Amino acid sequence: MIDQATIDKIMSAAQIVDVVSEFVTLRKRGVNYVGLCPFHNEKTPSFSVSPAKGLCKCFSCGKGGNVVHFIMEHEQLSYHDALMWLARKYHIEVKERELTDEEKHAQSVRESMFVVNDFARGYFQDVLRNHPEGRAVGMAYFRQRGFRDDIIAKFQLGYCLNQHDAFAREATQRGYKAEYLTRTGLCYTRDDGTLRDRFWGRVIFPVHTLSGKVVAFGGRVLKTDAKTAKYVNSPESEIYHKSNELYGIYFAKQAIVRQDRCFLVEGYTDVISMHQSGIENVVASSGTSLTQGQIRLIHRFTNNITVLYDGDMAGIKASLRGIDMLLEEGMNIKVVLLPDGDDPDSFARKHNATDYQQYINSHEVDFIRFKTNLLLDDAGTDPIKRAGLISDIVRSIAVIPDAIVRSVYVKECSQLLQVDEKLLLAEISKLKEAQAEKEYKARQNAQAQPAQPAPDAPAGETPEAGPAPEAPQPPQPPTPYESYIPQDNAESRKFFPLEKLIMELVVRYGEKTMCNVEDDEGRETPLSVVEFVVNELQIDDLRLHNPLHRRMLAEAAAHLHDEGFRAEHYFGTHPDPDISRYAAALMEERYTLSKYHTKAQRIATDEERLMELVPHVMTDFKFAIVEEELKHTQQALLDPENLHDEARYLNIMRHYKELSKVQRLIARRLGDRVLNV
């Protein structure tokens, strides 16, 4: 974890115009800069950068924030890694907390393994380009596949000599320890203690992490031998967990965000050929069934995925379970079946990006329809197979989290399968009830078990081994505040707009003096915005409904009297990325008056009107709470159970009258409410 002093240092040094200019061509417009948005395709500049506020924003797609958020979004990095990126750019030393001896050792092991992998990548590339065997065998293979030199260099492809220990000898001569050569899986130890290369005689495909580090390798044999596996891959290790990695994600992440869609293929060459044809938002599961870790990795960048299949029906059926997992994650899934005899690799070599894209757009179908038609063809007229097919389709629909989407698929499948819609709904209901009961029992069993201490996580750069399954990072959110502010219940969502106004005042002006108040001894003391908000809530025993709002207000109150505290800076540089991103959104200017309106008269700023604005917003908030409570009370008065209990009914009626009185008092204070009571 990076300490706050270092974060402050980074934020002070990182000039947003300087950073954004590395990726966007900016031109000055008034006090700000504008350019074409890097997060979506546009022809008219709508991306604005404010050097004074340290913020950027696209007024078309809504993405933006401070300098850290820009790097997070553009480079698809975590908050920590974005800060590290900026620290490296501005040569700032980052001091993190002191690690334990065990953590230091684990971190050292991981770093050493990455260093060894980086050496291996360079070695294999050099052999491919400069060694006679590498050029005659490895390069000849890639050229035969139609790969251009720039694509070969981009994906850092290589070749391992057809000798059992050529790489091992070179690595040990350079001082790399046998321990790390075997831990990474680049070599293995024979019974006689000698090292042997795992990838000898193969072309090499490095596998990159999200941030571009080489985490593993895939090697393809070039000779046809039934006894030799076509592909050999790095084994699992401290830095490589294949269930959390996708081939090509490092090269595809920005294109996936830009296109808001990810193409999923099977192999290395599929990805490379599609890149060469001009389609870059593509990743491969590398021949394995999709895992939750891989799905969540894709989901960080987009909700839309298109699976490209060749004509291998056995392979398609084997992959259907993984697609069901995509549905369960709430993703929108399309399927494209390529022409017979073509896979994504061969099809890409025959078509340019435009033709490829046109084929996909005209042939893609949603997954449920695709699966239904596929299984219908397989079942034919066999009633037993058709019954099994219906159960299979129902299981797929049942995992979809969105009720509206489920309803649409039920209606469509009812027509395709010629089955009563009510029957499908009943089966889905049974499955969901069974799943709920299973989850309930699992929770009960877990609560009955004594708590076990969690094992220490390995130290170092956890993201390099893929996203942790229990804490996936979603795709960076668009502008709606609700998309990255937790909404834990219906009440939180209902009061969000008003609470957002309160938090906007807290973040922008929290420490500012709103007015002076007299204490018990008649002395005047300044009252800040934060103190006023907290006091108003405490007077009526209220609290903010949104959990993040509560946390931010509590932190503002706790740090209010710290020396040099400024709410805008405190929240804008907060180590929690949800808070810092939200604060950046709250600090954006909502509107700017034109010169026509400001020429004849001076318009008072919000800061000058705090004594008017803050009480008004707090009163609005209280009015909304009273209105909501009145609705609940009215419903209680109509409840048959309460009508038959005279004492309870009278208590509810008394409460209703008190609320109505409070409502009228607040309305008079606001001065702009007309009540029909």
Residue 309: DSSP 8-state: E
Same domain, 8 and 81: yes
Asked if residue 461 belongs to a domain, the reply is no
For residue 404, what is the domain's CATH number? 3.40.1360.10
Same domain, 224 and 257: no
Same domain, 12 and 71: yes
How much is the average pLDDT of 536-542? Answer: 87
532 φ, ψ (degrees, to nearest 5): -65, -45
Label residue 475 by pLDDT band (50, 70, 90).
Answer: very low
Q: Which of 178-187, 209-218, 603-612, 628-637 is most confident?
A: 178-187
Asked if residue 672 belongs to a domain, the reply is no
Asked if residue 474 belongs to a domain, the reply is no
Residue 402's pLDDT is 82
Asked if residue 646 belongs to a domain, the reply is yes
Range in 55-59, 86-90, 295-299 with the lowest mean pLDDT: 295-299
Rg over CA atoms, the chain: 30
* Burial 462-473, CB ≥16 within 10 A → b, else e: ebbbbbeeeeeb
Label residue 485 by pLDDT band (50, 70, 90).
Answer: low
Domain boundaries, position 316: 249-445
Instruction: Name the more confident of 222 and 202.
Output: 202
Residue 444's pLDDT is 63
Same domain, 226 and 259: no
Long-range pairs of 227-236 with CB within 8 A, sequence gap ≥ 24:
231/287, 232/198, 232/199, 232/202, 233/286, 234/184, 234/185, 234/186, 234/198, 234/207, 235/185
For residue 62, what is the domain's CATH number? 3.90.580.10
Q: Which of 446-450, 459-463, 529-533, 544-548 is most confident?
A: 529-533
CB 238 within 8 A of CB 109: yes
Residue 8's pLDDT is 80
Residue 439 burial (CB count, 10 A)? 10
How much is the average pLDDT of 521-546? Answer: 87
Same domain, 314 and 399: yes
Same domain, 230 and 253: no
Residue 273's pLDDT is 93
Q: How many residues does the chain have?
A: 677
* Secondary structure of 122-186 in HEC code, one letter for each residue: HHHHHHHHHCHHHHHHHHHHHHHCCCCHHHHHHCCCEECCCCCCHHHHHHHHCCCCHHHHHHCCC
Torsion sign over Cα 418, 421, 422, 428: positive
CB 495 within 8 A of CB 625: yes
Residue 195's pLDDT is 93
Instruction: Name the more confident of 123 and 519.
Output: 123
Same domain, 317 and 393: yes
What's the CA gap between 219 and 650, in Å, rounded?
A: 80
Residue 606 burial (C-beta neighbours within 10 Å; 0-12, 13-18, 19+): middle
Same domain, 135 and 254: no
Same domain, 347 and 487: no
Q: What angle do CA 7, 12, 16 make, to 5 degrees?
A: 105
Asked if residue 336 belongs to a domain, the reply is yes
Asked if residue 330 belongs to a domain, the reply is yes
What's the CA gap between 603 and 599, in Å, rounded?
A: 10
Same domain, 257 and 236: no
Label residue 226 by pLDDT band (50, 70, 90).
Answer: low
Q: Tally DSSP H helices, then E strands, for the chain.
A: 30, 18
How much is the average pLDDT of 177-193? Answer: 93
Last residue of a domain, one of 445, 467, 490: 445
Segment (H or E) for 440 = helix 421-448
Angstrom CA distances, 422 to 373, 411, 414, stand at: 21, 10, 9
Instruction: Name the more confident of 229 and 452.
Output: 229
Residue 677: DSSP 8-state: -
What's the CA gap between 238 and 120, in Å, rounded?
A: 17
Asked if residue 597 belongs to a domain, the reply is no
Label residue 670 by pLDDT band (50, 70, 90).
Answer: low
3-state SS class at 217: strand
Range in 340-344, 445-449, 514-518 with the lowest mean pLDDT: 445-449
Residue 233's pLDDT is 92
Looking at the 3D structure of the chain, how many domains does it have? 4
pLDDT digits (tens, 9 = 90+) for 312-327: 666 677 677 777 888 8
Range in 38-52, 115-129, 391-405, 476-490 with the lowest mean pLDDT: 476-490
pLDDT digits (tens, 9 = 90+) for 425-474: 888 888 877 777 776 676 666 555 554 443 333 333 333 333 333 333 33
Last residue of a domain, one of 420, 445, 470: 445
What's the CA gap between 274 and 263, in Å, rounded?
A: 10
Last residue of a domain, one of 240, 258, 279: 240
CB 27 within 8 A of CB 35: yes
Tokens of 235: 């084994």
According to DSSP, the residues that pair with 217 across neighbouring strands are: 206
Residue 235: DSSP 8-state: P
Tokens of 106: 């684990």
Which candidate, 360, 662, 633, 403, places its Cα nearest to that of 539?
A: 662
How much is the average pLDDT of 264-270? Answer: 91
Instruction: Name the more confident of 385 and 178.
Output: 178
Instruction: Name the more confident of 641 and 658.
Output: 658
Which candidate, 209, 214, 236, places its Cα nearest to that of 297?
A: 209
CA dihedral 469, 470, 472, 478 (to 10 degrees): 150
Same domain, 44 and 24: yes
Segment (H or E) for 667 = helix 646-670
Q: What percent of the chain has pLDDT over 90?
A: 28
Same domain, 364 and 343: yes
3-state SS class at 527: strand
3-state SS class at 301: coil
The overall average pLDDT reported for the chain is 82
Residue 345 burial (C-beta neighbours within 10 Å; 0-12, 13-18, 19+): buried
Give the distance from CA 135 to its chain's centroid: 41
Give the pairing type, strands 55-58 and 47-50. antiparallel
Asked if residue 468 belongs to a domain, the reply is no
